[in-house]
């Protein structure tokens, strides 16, 4: 079964485009190459950007477990919104004093949302 995984990340404290490129590279190393990727200014916070990724996965047999494991490699903790009747899950991350990061550069992540769609 094929799934489209969407990951939206808001990063802040960005001093130059090299940091954005490094975050994109590290995210892609976790999920594989993205079908689409874009970034744009995020005006709500100083020096912040919104990064949007779309990944196609046709390997995962348990897409929920796959998303939880992959998202935990980026940062944690994530809030999980599970809709069992629809077989849907939405993961939301908000940086706080309990946050942990899989890579040092991920401390720039202020907020993230990960969800999947069956195709």
Domain coordinates of the chain in residue numbers? 3-118
**What length is written for the chain?**
119
* 106-109 contacts, C-beta under 8 A, 24 or more apart: 106/23, 106/26, 106/74, 106/75, 108/11, 108/12, 108/13, 108/14, 108/19, 108/23, 109/9, 109/10, 109/11, 109/23, 109/74, 109/75
**DSSP SS3 for 100:** strand
Lowest mean pLDDT among 47-51, 53-57, 58-62, 96-100: 58-62
CATH assignment of 3-118?
A: 3.30.70
- What's the pLDDT at 60? 64
Q: What is the DSSP letter of 2?
A: -
Given a cut of 80, whether residue 49 has pLDDT beyond it is yes
Rounded to an integer, what distance in angstroms lies between the CA atom of residue 55 and that of residue 96?
27
* Over residues 49-68, mean pLDDT: 88
pTM tops 0.75, yes or no: yes
* Over residues 12-33, mean pLDDT: 94
Residue-averaged pLDDT of the chain:
93
Residues 6+ apart with CB under 8 A from 19: 11, 105, 108
Lowest mean pLDDT among 32-36, 42-46, 106-110: 32-36
């Amino acid at each position: 079964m094929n799934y489209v995984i969407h990951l939206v990340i808001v990063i802040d404290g960005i001093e130059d485009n090299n940091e954005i490129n490094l975050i994109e590279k590290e995210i892609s190393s976790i999920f594989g190459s993205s079908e689409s990727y874009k970034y744009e200014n995020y005006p709500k916070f100083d020096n912040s950007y919104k990064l949007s990724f779309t990944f196609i996965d046709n390997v995962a047999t348990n897409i929920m477990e796959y998303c939880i494991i992959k998202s935990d490699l980026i940062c944690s903790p994530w809030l999980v919104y599970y809709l069992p009747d629809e077989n849907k899950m939405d993961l939301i991350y908000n940086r706080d004093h309990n946050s942990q990061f899989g890579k040092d550069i991920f401390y720039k992540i202020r907020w993230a949302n990960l969800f999947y769609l069956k195709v």
